[in-house]
């Protein structure tokens, strides 16, 4: 020791001994040798803890219709009913936008009734306008489900059946049932949620509105995402696409907008905006208004901020009690008072006119276009506004179900009373 320390002065020697003592005291936890597990009962020092790194969720290609849709891309596919039903028909286009980021699968369908072309344009515009590189999740758009009816300008299939009374369908049933079964298995089963677009039927027009079964909690939550859009409680009829989808755990609603056989830009724009709001609510795409400071003017803020979505629980059709020429005196969306004139029916033979009055206060959510009508014709659809809580409470009360039988082969292209007056 003398030889080793002989050359050190006393201050240097003191510093060396102090450093050695500190080093011994600091090494109070054994350093793990690679490959040797530390004592699980003894926690490591805080300085050795590593921050947890959250791995991003992997987005894989979507397998649908025998194709793979790569994340961040859009692909237009074709769907045909199985069994050679549509060999002579055009195929249904299926536009799949697979997002680059993970998220739900939202399905948008239209043209289940071939003459309701507003929905065809709504789904086309949405499915081709989405940027898949900025999308979280997937959007599957089918603008024309019933290509048979669309190519003929008809609501129905060639066998005069209503496709929207045939879901989920069967393999061995009628043409309608087989088409419904094929579409349900090939497309709908890929969905996490579904919006089916329709219009009024038989020369009637509907205010843009969501129809939903408010007895189903998942459907209630889904219906909240459409922003300032009318929501009407409607349990639906057996065989409807939205009813069949909801029954297998896929929340689904019907979106009504406008009248059949024509394109209506205002109604189309409202529906497109509602779906864009829905996708923001579902966190599938960013809010385009996020980060924009609102105006300081209070009146301007009131104009920009959308009003809460009203929910209509009860609705009724007001019928014409005489035949003649129907002339409306109200417009879609207008609020009316009990006893207010909705329109008049003029008998051109006797030159007698009779007025149609509102039985209750409400809002016009559907109406017939001016035309020749017969006694009993459903002319105006009134909705009674209520709160969401009241709507859900009333919807949960037991009601007598409507008996909906399968259409007969001899059925002409006319509607059934059991289908309701709006014939969704």
Q: Is residue 203 part of a domain?
A: yes
How do residues 352-398 score in pLDDT, each as one tens digit? Answer: 999 999 999 999 999 999 999 999 999 999 998 887 787 788 778 77
Q: Are 202 and 424 in contact (CB under 8 A)?
A: no
Mean pLDDT calculated for residue range 196-225: 95
Residue 234, domain member (yes or no)? yes
Residue 185 falls inside a structural domain: yes
The pLDDT assigned to 115 comes to: 97
325: which residues sit within 8 A by CB, 6+ positions away?
Answer: 345, 346, 347, 348, 370, 371, 372, 373
pLDDT in tens, 22-76: 444 443 434 444 444 555 566 655 555 555 656 677 899 999 999 999 999 999 9
Can you give the CATH number for the domain in which 101 is found? 3.40.630.10
Own/partner pairs for 218-225, CB < 8 Å, 24+ apart?
218/246, 218/249, 218/251, 219/246, 219/251, 219/252, 219/253, 220/388, 220/392, 221/251, 222/193, 222/251, 222/252, 222/253, 223/253, 224/281, 224/309, 225/277, 225/278, 225/281, 225/282
Q: Does residue 311 sit within a domain?
A: no
Side-chain-side CA neighbours of 63 within 13 Å: the count stands at: 1
The count of domains in the chain is: 1
Residue 156 lies in a domain: yes
Beta strand ranges found along 110-222 (DSSP E): 136-142, 193-198, 204-212
* Range scoring the smallest mean pLDDT among 117-126, 240-249, 302-311: 302-311
Predicted pLDDT of residue 406? 30
163 within some domain? yes
Residue 53, domain member (yes or no): no
Is a pLDDT exceeding 70 seen at residue 9?
no
Q: Which domain covers residue 155, as residue numbers?
A: 62-281
Residues listed for the chain: 424
Q: Give the range among 9-13, 88-92, 230-234 with minimum mean pLDDT.
A: 9-13
Assess if residue 251 is contained within a domain: yes
Chain segment 240-285, per-residue pLDDT in tens? 999 999 999 999 999 999 999 999 999 999 999 999 999 999 999 9
């Amino acid at each position: 020791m003398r030889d080793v320390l002989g050359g050190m002065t006393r201050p240097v020697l003191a510093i060396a001994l102090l450093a050695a003592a500190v080093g011994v005291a600091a090494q109070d936890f054994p350093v793990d040798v690679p490959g040797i597990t530390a004592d699980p009962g003894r926690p490591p020092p805080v300085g050795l803890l590593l921050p947890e790194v959250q791995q991003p969720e992997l987005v894989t290609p979507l397998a649908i219709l025998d194709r793979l849709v790569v994340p961040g891309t859009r692909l237009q596919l074709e769907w045909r009913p199985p069994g050679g039903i549509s060999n002579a028909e055009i195929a249904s286009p299926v536009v799949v936008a697979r997002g680059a980021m993970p998220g739900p699968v939202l399905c948008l369908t239209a043209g289940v009734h071939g003459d309701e072309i507003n929905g065809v344009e709504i789904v086309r515009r949405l499915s081709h306008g989405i940027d898949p590189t900025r999308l979280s999740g997937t959007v599957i758009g089918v603008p024309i489900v019933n290509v048979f009816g669309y190519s003929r300008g008809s609501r129905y299939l060639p066998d005069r059946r209503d496709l929207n009374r045939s879901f989920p369908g069967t393999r061995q049933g009628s043409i309608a049932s087989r088409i419904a079964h094929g579409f349900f298995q090939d497309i709908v089963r890929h969905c996490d949620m579904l919006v089916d677009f329709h219009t009024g039927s038989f020369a009637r027009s509907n205010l843009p509105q969501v129809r939903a079964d408010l007895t189903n909690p998942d459907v209630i939550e889904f219906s909240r995402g459409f922003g300032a859009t009318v929501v009407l409680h409607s349990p639906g009829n057996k065989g409807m696409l939205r009813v069949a989808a909801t029954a297998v755990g896929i929340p689904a609603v019907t979106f009504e907008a406008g009248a059949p056989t024509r394109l209506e830009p205002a109604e189309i724009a409202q529906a497109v905006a509602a779906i864009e709001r829905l996708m923001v609510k579902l966190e599938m795409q960013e809010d385009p208004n996020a980060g924009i400071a609102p105006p300081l003017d209070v009146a301007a803020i009131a104009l920009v901020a959308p009003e809460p979505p009203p929910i209509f629980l009860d609705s009724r059709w007001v019928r014409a009690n005489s035949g003649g020429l129907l002339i409306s005196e109200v417009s879609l969306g207008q609020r009316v008072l009990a006893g207010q004139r909705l329109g008049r029916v003029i008998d051109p033979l006797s030159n007698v006119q009779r007025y149609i009055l509102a039985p209750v206060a409400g809002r016009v959510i559907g109406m017939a276009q001016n035309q020749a009508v017969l006694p009993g014709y459903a002319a105006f659809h009134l909705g009674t506004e209520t709160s969401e809580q009241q709507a859900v409470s009333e919807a949960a009360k037991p009601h007598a179900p409507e008996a909906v039988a399968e259409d007969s082969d001899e059925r002409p292209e006319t509607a059934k009373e059991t289908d309701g007056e709006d014939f969704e």
